[in-house]
Amino acid sequence: MAFSASVRDPAIAEMNMTPLVDVMLVLLVIFMVSAPMLTRNVHATLPQAAPPSPLKPMQLQVALGSDGSYRLDDRPLGKRELWERLEVAVAADPQVVLRVRASGDADYQGMVTVLSEARARGIANIGLQP
């Protein structure tokens, strides 16, 4: 088998730049069209801010004793006095925070009563402490 010594095509020494130039021109046109849109002012009516609310809401602590007694911020109170004080606190600050703490051998019904009465008087933020 003899190989022919024919003349091969000369190698292309240069890369065809036409497609690259076409893509660059298209990108240039896109940026030229979109650039004015980026600098336009957008007129918007902004809402007015409400006055700031107090940072810390009023915090109350109710302690339930093992004998069924109630203490509001370490002051002994009866049931009716406690409910009245909770109503006054909600009237003064609707975001009042109530922390309920019961002794280890306190009656569960007493705890449920405190929670339900506080909820009935409009206190939404109720926490339990050990």
* Cross-sheet strand order for the sheet of 70-72: 75-77, 70-72, 59-64, 97-102, 125-129
Q: Which one has a higher pLDDT value, 83 or 41?
A: 83
pLDDT band at residue 21 under the 50/70/90 scheme: very high
Mean pLDDT to the nearest integer, 16-44: 86
Please give the domain boundaries of the chain with CATH numbers for all domains. Answer: 59-129 (3.30.420.270)
Q: For residue 115, count CB atoms less than 10 angstroms from its CB and return exposed for 0-12, middle for 13-18, buried for 19 or more.
A: middle
Per-residue confidence (pLDDT) for residue 29, from 0 to 100: 95
- 75 vs 71: CA distance, rounded Å: 5
pLDDT tens by residue, 51-94: 876 678 889 999 998 888 899 998 998 889 999 999 999 998 88
Phi-psi region of 9 (alpha: psi -120 to 50; beta: other; left: phi over 0): beta
Per-residue confidence (pLDDT) for residue 7, from 0 to 100: 59
pTM: 0.54
